[in-house]
Amino acid sequence: MSDGGAATVLIDTVAWVRVEQGRILCARSRGKDVFYIPGGKREGAESDLETLLREVEEELAVALLPATATHLGTYEAQAHGQPDGVLVRMSCYSGDCRGTPAASNEIEEIRWLSYGDRDRVAPVDQLLFDDLRASGELT
């Protein structure tokens, strides 16, 4: 990074994409005004899969089945609520789980959102919504 211009900061995240009947599972953290795809930031040298398993269990109280995890794509956009130049990179995975998703820890609520709810999610999630809509998965 240089002292002169604005530095780019990258927030590296992993997310679990769960689509059922044309809707996607989203979560809203306590005190936040937008929904996110469940997941979060890696800790230390965690792999994508390790991060995904830990974050989904912490946020939704379900156990992802590691053998079913499939990379769907990676998205980058301006981070919601952060200064210009702070980007979030979201590596998205689908996968089956054991248990029923429920709000846990810092999650205040979970909702199944449709494409019509696109403006209720963070900018990086909107890119995923667009792709899921284009593929016919999100109604």
Q: What integer is the mean pLDDT of 55-80? A: 97
Nearest to 121 by CA among 3, 45, 17: 17
Query: Which tens digits make up the pLDDT trace of 82-109?
Result: 999 999 999 999 999 999 999 998 899 9
Q: What is the mean pLDDT of the chain?
A: 94
The pLDDT > 90 percentage for the chain reads: 92
pLDDT confidence of residue 61: 96
The pTM (predicted TM-score) of the whole model is 0.91
pLDDT confidence of residue 98: 97
Sign for the CA dihedral angle at 95, 26, 34, 52 comes to negative
pLDDT confidence of residue 10: 94
Q: Is the pLDDT of residue 2 over 50?
A: no
Query: Which tens digits make up the pLDDT trace of 16-36?
Result: 999 999 999 999 999 999 999
Structure tokens at 2: 């240089």
